[in-house]
């Protein structure tokens, strides 16, 4: 079930997904990177966040979206490895694109780490194209028109 984030119910699981699935890639570029729960919580406050809840209401994945002036940015996306391959990431991406259209935005963008080849393949499969590479961050900026 796809629903909006409920902080008291979802944030512990979201923090765990960020720590296990997103930070290891970021630390390849910034080895000393540390993000506190408050930092992540504040980042989520500036986003529209959707959660995919599996059986028993377990948070199986989430997507955090930022409305920018002329486009929607996917700030974070993660799906628990135990639930990958079940279409959850695809549902979350569709929600991002739907949210962009609902706000009259024509582009969805996201950054993906150079080392995260699995994520790159996933995004390309969903129609996203690399439009820029940041050598300092070692990340690609991907974009899709919606």
pLDDT for position 13: 95
Q: What's the pLDDT tens digit per position in 2-41?
A: 999 999 999 999 999 999 999 888 888 777 878 888 889 9
**pTM score, two decimals?**
0.94
d(CA 30, CA 143): 24
Phi-psi region of 138 (alpha: psi -120 to 50; beta: other; left: phi over 0): left
23 HSE (CA, 13 A, CB side): 16
Q: Residue 56: is its pLDDT beyond 80?
A: no
pLDDT for position 78: 97
pLDDT for position 10: 94
Q: Residue 73: is its pLDDT beyond 80?
A: yes
């Amino acid at each position: 079930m796809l629903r909006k984030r409920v902080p008291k119910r979802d944030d512990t699981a979201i923090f765990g997904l960020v720590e296990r699935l997103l930070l290891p890639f970021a630390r390849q570029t910034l080895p000393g990177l540390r993000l506190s729960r408050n930092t992540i919580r504040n980042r989520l406050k500036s986003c529209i966040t959707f959660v995919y809840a599996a059986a028993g209401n377990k948070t199986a994945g989430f997507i955090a979206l930022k409305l920018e002036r002329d486009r929607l940015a996917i700030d974070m996306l993660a799906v628990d490895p135990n639930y990958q391959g079940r279409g959850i990431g695809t549902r979350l991406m569709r929600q991002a694109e739907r949210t962009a259209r609902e706000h009259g935005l024509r582009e969805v963008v996201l950054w993906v780490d150079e080392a995260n080849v699995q994520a790159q393949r996933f995004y390309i499969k969903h129609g996203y194209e690399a439009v820029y590479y940041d050598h300092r961050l070692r990340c690609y900026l991907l974009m899709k028109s919606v």
